[in-house]
Amino acid sequence: MANIYDSAYDLEKAIRESDEFKGLKQAYDKVMADESAKKMFDDFRTTQMQLQEKQMQGQEITEEEVEKAKGVVELVQQHPDISKLMEEEQRLNVVINDVSKIITKPLEELYGNPDQQQ
């Protein structure tokens, strides 16, 4: 049987070679090549990370922060290149979630799926 780590590296390679990753990389490169899009995207990511950090630390997110985040999201969604980047990221996330379900299937079978136990 193949070493599990070898299989993981094969999976990494398959992801890198997938159409979903290639589409994401192309969209990312396009955003990074446009100075205004890059700044907008960086602001979006910074805002996103700050809010996630506060959540993980159990801090309350203020209404002002929520409104600021909504504004940033609306702004980036209006930029066609950033919007495309977000779509491509979502496509890859679907693949990664599907793969995650596949590789965690042995644990699900062992412990059962709590959502299905009624």
Can you give the CATH number for the domain in which 55 is found?
1.20.1500.10
Does 116 reside within a domain? no
Question: What average pLDDT score do residues 98-104 get?
Answer: 96
- d(C-alpha 53, C-alpha 46), whole Å: 10
Does 102 reside within a domain? yes
Who wins on pLDDT, 24 or 117? Answer: 24
> φ, ψ for residue 58 (rounded to 5)?
75, 15
pLDDT at 49: 93
Residues 6+ apart with CB under 8 A from 86: 76, 77
The domain tally of the chain equals: 1
Q: Which domain holds residue 60?
A: 4-111
Does 118 reside within a domain? no
Does 14 reside within a domain? yes
Q: What is the pLDDT of residues 32-88, one digit of tens each?
A: 999 999 999 999 999 999 999 999 999 999 999 999 999 999 999 999 999 999 999
Does 8 reside within a domain? yes
